[in-house]
Structure 1
Amino acid sequence: MGKRGLRRLPVTALVSVCAVLIGVAVSGGASPLPGLELSQAGHWIASPALNLVLFVNGSAKSVDAQVPVAGLEPGSQVVQGPTSGYVIGKSAIVEFGKSNLSVDRTLPSPSGERPALVEASGGPYLVYREAGRVVRLGSGFTTLPAGGPLGTPVATADGTLWLNRTDSGALCRLAKDADTVTCRDNLGAGHTGGLSIAGDRAVFVDTTTDTIREVSGDRPGEPVAIEKDLSPAAQIAPADADGRIAVLEPERRQLHLLDAGGFAAGRAPARPIEVDLPDGVYSNPTASASSVVLLDLTRHKVLTYGPDGNPRQTTAIPPESGTPQLVRGDDKRVYVDGGEGKHVLVVDPDGKVAQVPVTPGKAPAPATSPQQPPPATQPPAQQPPKVRPDVRADGPKQPPPVRRTEPPVTQQQKPIPPSPPGIPGRLTARLQGSDARITWDAAAGNRAAVTAYHVTWKPSSGAGAGASELAGTARSTVIAGLRAGITYTVTVVAENSAGRGTPATTRVTGPAVPKPTITVTRGKTGTYEPDPAECSAPDCAKMHVVVRGFAPNTEYHFTPHCGCTYSNEGRSFTTDANGAVTFEAFDFGAVGKQAWVTADNGVSSPRYTWPPG
């Protein structure tokens, strides 16, 4: 119940409303409750097998409401606003009322891409990361361009949606009632990392510079070193757990817990806590109020850790749940959704895990009519003696007539035709050098043999998409030549004689991009021709500049500096396809003085003491 709802309803009325709601949900009725804003607490899931959308009460660990939605698409997600819920499928968006528990309207999906869902004041929002678009649901249906591919979004309590551009390094925001995505801060192209929420402030963890900075104030905060060397493939949890932000290093099998509490309090942060993980493949981390939650996709388990790094609970995921995903609810619980909508695991704020079977509600037994009082007693009427049918007055007993019964006629059962296969199980993608090894378990054939598996992969930006068709007996393949630092979405779908089934999806990030570096040494000796008096051989020479790990095919401006009297406006150079460039420029001859070069993305070379010629 939203705060406004609590102010409008007294406690007794509130209890009555809850009772009515539960009755409506269980009986399948849809009596509207005008003006009622239902609570955001809890989580809605889609169950295509049941053609139902169900509300999971995280506190009670129960399914408390259901909405029939015909033709639910496999892989559908559900996001909720104050009064409506939205089923997000590949081809359509279905809006349903949370008070009348019925479908209100169906809209075409703006993209076949699976969006990130954000429940926030002013929303909810769909963020199509690869397309670089934000869709605001609610009374309207507004699509807002962000200008380029996006990282994982987060939202603060005031309803502001925070985004980061993965191509340019821009930090962007969409205010609660704004109609434009505004990008005001630029980290520079090539910077990797992700957004998170520390307390109620948006922060950016920069894995290129190994810093954290606040982005939600009037002006961006200064970067603060986190004393940990993070790789570009590091995955950032979208919120803190008791002041610690979880960072997963998937290739190193490590979990780092950054001291966001100290950062938010304006003091020097404590050193990160490091947790070594068992060998395996893990999903992006998330957090409940005071625990970190991971999915171990290799062993199909949920792992929870305290903010001190100590393990709290390991729980097996039901095998029929399909490919699971983690969803952080508005109640600061984490919900582990099964890919097929058959089970939900609820992770409480303290890290304890409970299973909630997804079952439709049962209609209550019909009410019985009150018993009528018995009529006044009357003396029994005299009945004539019954004549037994098997006794004749003038002879012995006769057997009763034989009644011939025919065997029941049964309708011949028609064989159930095959249907498309189930979802491939336990899909994993593991980086091996610059290649990715993709493995999966067999998909259910559904009364027909699986004849093929179709594997597709698509990078988050640029070229490199591909596809392959494998035999029905295949359980693995290799995708060769992943681009450094680029995340690929990998999809595997099974096919049989009835068609293609539900796809399984995972992600894998290419090899780590080297940190951007600039080095300066003495280059070719010469004389500064415009004014030999300023710089002449043999002490005068060009600076030899080597640039590595920058964004590929991008122009940067480089400026030389000196710990002395020196002025040079610098020059621009463009990196190659590997993000590197080497050049000689900037005449310099101050022997014994320190020289260095900076780029316009903030990267600076070490200081180099100029030698004599």
Structure 2
Amino acid sequence: MGKRGLRRLPMTALVSVCAVLIGVAVSGGASPLPGLELAQAGHWIASPALNLVLFVNGSAKSVDAQVPVAGLEPGSQVVQGPTSGYVIGKSAIIEFGKSDLSVDRTLTPPSGERPALVEASGGPYLVYREAGRVVRLGSGFTTLPAGGPLGAPVATPDGTLWLNRLDSGALCRLAKDADTVACRDDLGAGHTGGLSVAGDRAVFVDTTTDTIRQVSGDAPGEPVAIGTDLSPAAQIAPADADGRIAVLEPEKRQLYLLDAGVPGAGRAPAQPIKVGLPDGVYSNPAASASSVVLLDLTRHQVLTYGADGNPRQATAIPPESGTPQLVRGDDKRVYVDGGEGKHVLVVDPDGQVSQVPVAADKAPAPATSAPPTSPPPPPAQQPPAQQPPKAKPDVRADGPKQQSPPVRKTDPPVTQQQKPLPPSPPGIPARLTARLQGGDAQLSWGAAADNRAEVTAYHVAWQPSSGTGAGSADLGGTARSAVIPGLRAGITYTVTVVAENSAGRGTPATAKVAGPAVPKPTITVTRGKTGTYEPDPGECSAPDCAKMHVVVRGFAPNTAFHFTPHCGCEYSNGGRSFTTDSNGAVTFEAFDFGAVGKQAWVTSDNGVSSAKYTWPPG
């Protein structure tokens, strides 16, 4: 099969036809496509009461999609990969498609304990800490032993999963494409502390030696004193906020913000910032891009602080939300799950908190904001904390009561008590499907929620699992379908479609489509051009003598193979080598033969043999 010529049609034709033909040639050295490098946007939650899994758009502060899932277990968690989401329960793992919003399959978890969820490139991952096991989801379902009980896991932007063994003190890592957990004895038994991520580096905060060290790379960095005494009970945030790692001392009612940079020569670490907390019970800290997030379980509040230690906002958690938990999204927002799937609070990168109702049968009271209870004055070396600005009520519209949550949320009418919300990027393109038709991929999708600004474009991108053939195209805002021509046999393509409006690009829909099946390797022999064997005309001469015409299909592409002719008679020929093209095919004429009525055939050095061909007279 030869190469197919591709060309881009005018944009007017792309929008006006039912199937849009996209043709973009991309060389093997092309840069990664932006559409396929997008971070996982938003956050999925499970609502057992409604038997729904819902997508919370953190940018738009809305519920953009829902998936019916029967029999959701109470306390179910949801983690997402590029094309699928996974509902994690005690007795079952349910996979659903993020594009078609339907359940694909049900898997059995390796343990009944509640795992830690990690969304990362190459994953997502489930870490069963007590059992010492890691489950890699995605295209497969792989369980990997880590050798012992584990601390809280983290993942760096390159897709590496980092773990620490609680029994031996070993630091472990699972690279994006690795099939084993690699551990090394870096800390020694008895060391307490936890992992975090500072920028693109994994670090370990050692509460036994009161040091911090970089653990990314081939060898760990040198430990650096953090400047304060931490207890074994200290709780470490899994990521930094503007270069500071939050550490909660629950018994001391103190929050420390540590300098996350492991200093080099000539640079001393900045002194830790100390924030006093009122008496109460607090959860493990989390971090958005520029703020620290705490749950005050005594007062049922979400507290946010800047990286300078100053309080930013205190927001009441709806009382019917159940036991809340903090989840940091790949969009660097923190999502406060209610535990019952009825409400989600979204903490933006700057620490502002917004409430998103996800239950259909109740309209929650608006979230209120007030400064946290005044903490004790900071240490003398710290400048006095500025008083936070007077809190403003949350004016987000909760909308009318509904009987069931919508697949795409629309905004309620503006009243005198409500201010109109500004536009935000569009929602997920609905019901993206990608199916093979002949050798082409047929794409179709539904309209994305405009989120208060007209959708002006859809951006389509595709990436093969190996080799060349990636491409992208920009379509108009009315486009609902596209065609990607000439998929390579045996190659799986990842396709993304993302909508854009005046506020920017939204959450992408992602799907996979496999190219045509790899054909079975075949060799076909027929009579070729008549001629005479020049070295010895008496051995093979016209008209009975001719070349063997050999057609090879379905072999490995761009590979040299050795072909040897055979005969059920006296015949000797050492054969020749030929190289297949990019489609795994080659046609050639070789091997003079003239034994009329005898059978001839050809074999290759990869074990494939042609059928026996009875040689005809010339």
Q: Within the alignment, does 1:361 sit opposite 2:402 as a pair?
A: no
1:112 alignment counterpart: 112
**Which residue of structure 1 lines up, in the alignment, with residue 276 of structure 2?**
276
Say if 1:364 and 1:233 are closer, same or farther in 2 by CA, change over 3 A. closer
Confirm or deny: 8 A CA contact 1:199 1:264 kept in the other structure: no
Q: Distance in 1 between matches of 2:81 and 2:55?
A: 13
Indicate conservation of the 8 Å contact 1:46/1:53, yes or no.
Answer: yes
Match of 2:253 in 1: 253
**Alignment of structure 1 residues 10-409 onto 2, 5 Å:** 40-261=40-261, 263=263, 267-359=267-359, 360-362=404-406
Q: Distance in 1 between matches of 2:108 and 2:232?
A: 36
- Tell me, in whole angstroms, the C-alpha distance in 1 between the residues paired with 2:407 and 2:142: 39
Q: How does 1:414-433 map to 2 (within 5 A)?
A: none
Report if the CA contact (8 A) 1:38-1:98 is conserved: no
Q: Read off the aligned partner of 2:189 and give its amino acid letter.
A: A
Runs (4+) off by over 4 Å: 10-16, 35-39
State the alpha-carbon separation in 2 of the partners of residues 263 and 237 from structure 1. 20
Q: In structure 2, what residue type is equivalent to 1:123?
A: G
1:186 Cα deviation after fit: 2.5
The one-letter amino acid paired with 1:243 is G
Cα distance in 1, alignment partners of residues 242 and 144 from structure 2: 33
Asked if structure 2 preserves the Cα contact closer than 8 Å seen for 1:160 and 1:175, the reply is yes
What SS does the aligned partner of 2:261 have? helix
Q: Which residue of 2 aligns with 1:425?
A: none
C-alpha distance in 2 between matches for 1:237 and 1:287: 7
Change (3 A) 1:127 1:14: farther
Report how far residue 11 of structure 1 moved.
Answer: 11
Structure 2 unaligned segments of length 5 or more: list them: 1-7, 17-34, 360-403, 410-618
Deviations 1:415-473 (A, max 9, x none): xxxxxxxxxxxxxxxxxxxxxxxxxxxxxxxxxxxxxxxxxxxxxxxxxxxxxxxxxxx
The answer (yes or no) to whether the contact 2:65–2:408 under 8 Å persists in 1 is no
Tell me the TM-score normalised to structure 1 length. 0.53
Q: CA deviation at 1:79?
A: 0.2
Matches of 1:165 and 1:11, distance apart in 2: 56
The offset of 1:12, in angstroms, is 11
Instruction: With the length of structure 2 as denominator, give the TM-score of the two structures.
Output: 0.53
In structure 2, C-alpha distance between the alignment counterparts of 1:306 and 1:11, rounded to whole Å: 47
Q: 1:165 to 1:317 in 2, by over 3 A?
A: same
Question: Helix, strand or coil: the match of 2:232?
Answer: coil
CA contact (8 A) 1:37 1:82 kept: no
Q: Partner letter of residue 50 of structure 1?
A: L
Q: Distance in 2 between matches of 1:103 and 1:338?
A: 24
For residues 75-106 of structure 1, the C-alpha deviation after alignment (integer angstroms, 9 at most, x for no partner) is 00000000000000010000000000000000
Matched residues, number? 339
- Contact 1:47-1:72 at 8 Å conserved across structures: yes
Structure 1's unaligned 5+ residue stretches are 1-7, 17-34, 366-613
The aligned counterpart of 2:549 is: none
1:361 Cα deviation from its structure 2 partner: 3.3
Between the aligned partners of 1:69 and 1:11, the Cα distance in structure 2 is 40
The offset of 1:266, in angstroms, is 7.6
> d(CA) in 2 for partners of 1:237 and 1:81?
23
1:219: how far off? 1.0
1:406 aligns with none
The aligned amino acid for 2:273 is I
Matches within 5 A, 1:379-528: none
The offset of 1:263, in angstroms, is 3.6
Greater Rg by CA: 1
Shift of 1:110: 1.4
Aligned 8 A contact 2:63 2:408 in 1: no
Give the direction of change, closer, same or farther, for the CA distance of 1:96–1:184 in structure 2 (3 Å limit).
same
Partners of 2:56 and 2:63 within 8 A in 1: yes
Q: 1:290-344 deviations in whole A, cap 9, x for unaligned?
A: 0000000111100000000000000000000000000000000000000111000
CA distance in 2, matches of 1:266, 1:185: 29
User: Do the aligned residues in 1 keep the contact of 2:167 with 2:190 (CA within 8 Å)?
Assistant: yes
Distance 1:71 1:251 in 2: 40
Deviations 1:580-603 (Å, cap 9, x if unpaired)? xxxxxxxxxxxxxxxxxxxxxxxx
| Contact 1:325–1:338, Cα closer than 8 Å, also in 2 | yes
Higher-RCO chain (CA-CA 8 Å, sequence separation at least 6) = 2
Q: Which amino acid counterpart does residue 175 of structure 1 have in structure 2?
A: A
Contact 2:322/2:338 (CA < 8 Å) preserved in 1? yes
Q: Which amino acid aligns with 1:139?
A: S
Listed one character per residue, the Cα deviations across residues 385-411 of structure 1 (whole Å, up to 9, x for unaligned) are: xxxxxxxxxxxxxxxxxxxxxxxxxxx
Is the 1:36–1:83 Cα contact (8 Å) retained in structure 2?
no
Considering only aligned residues, what root-mean-square deviation do their CA atoms show, in Å? 2.6
Give the partner amino acid of 1:340.
E
